Structure 1
Amino acid sequence: MPKPRAEQLQQDILSYKEQGVTHVISLLKPAEVEAFQMTQEADVCKAHQLSFTHFPIKDMDVPDLSALKELNLELKQQLSKGAHVAIHCHGGRGRAGTVAISLMIEHGYGATEAMKIASKARGDKMPVCDLQIEFVQSYR
Structure 2
Amino acid sequence: MRGLRRLGVDVLVSAQTDGERVECDLVDQARAVAAAGLRFVCFPIEDRTVPDVASAVAVVEPLYEMYRGGAHVVFHCWAGIGRSSLLAGLLLGMDGVAPGEAWRVISEARGMPVPDTGEQEEWLAGWWEGRFHVKR
TM-score (norm 2): 0.90
Matches of 1:102 and 1:76, distance apart in 2? 9
Output the aligned Cα RMSD: 0.9
Q: Which runs of 5+ in 1 are unaligned?
A: 1-12
Aligned with 2:12: secondary structure?
strand
Tell me how far 1:81 sits from its aligned partner. Answer: 2.1
Tell me how far 1:84 sits from its aligned partner. Answer: 0.7
The aligned runs of 1:79-90 (5 Å cut-off) are 79-90=67-78
Matches of 1:139 and 1:125, distance apart in 2? 20
> Structure 1: which amino acid aligns with 2:5?
K
Matches of 2:60 and 2:13, distance apart in 1? 11
Tell me the number of residue pairs that the alignment of Structure 1 and Structure 2 aligns.
128
Tell me how far 1:136 sits from its aligned partner. Answer: 1.3
Tell me how far 1:102 sits from its aligned partner. Answer: 1.1
Matches of 2:99 and 2:69, distance apart in 1? 24
Q: Which residue of 97, 103, 108 corresponds with 1:120?
A: 108
Identity within the alignment, %: 29
Superposed structure 1 runs of 4+ greater than 4 Å apart: none
Which has the larger displacement, 84-93 or 71-80? 71-80
Q: Which runs of 5+ in 2 are unaligned?
A: 129-136
Matches of 2:69 and 2:86, distance apart in 1? 23
1:105 matches 2:73: no
